[in-house]
Amino acid sequence: MRLAALTIAALAFAAAAHATPLGDADRGDLDTVILADMDDDAFDAQFVCPETLGSADDREDAFERYTAWAHLRHPEWSFQKLLEVRTGLLRRHDCSVTLAKVTSSGQPAFPGWAYPPHK
């Protein structure tokens, strides 16, 4: 009995010593599988307002997660549709700080000389 217990303990220790933790690539693959299986209602239910996240990196990760989910679940969506759905999520979850930042930007992203002339 004692020999069996020692053998089991040795095997458990050996298995633990050779186990490798999930790397960033593995976590990314796992997240992709989860996102691909998440329907619209489930994504909506887990959505968190960007202003409640702790850092700019967390906000960027959340946005990348949204775009990954949208591309996986709705590959037919146009860029305009991606923006409309994102804005809808922000409104539905009352993300007033983020919405204020988005709507307060009255300046074009590029200076006037960067746009092609209208004919």
Q: What is the pLDDT of residues 15-72, one digit of tens each?
A: 444 444 444 444 456 677 788 888 899 999 999 999 999 999 999 999 999 999 999 9
DSSP SS3 for 3: helix
Residues 6+ apart with CB under 8 A from 85: 70, 77
Query: What residues does each domain of the chain span?
Result: 23-103
Mean pLDDT for 93-97 is 95
pLDDT computed for residue 114 by the predictor = 60
Model pTM above 0.85:
no
Alpha carbon distance 99, 87 (integer Å): 8
Alpha carbon distance 71, 65 (integer Å): 10
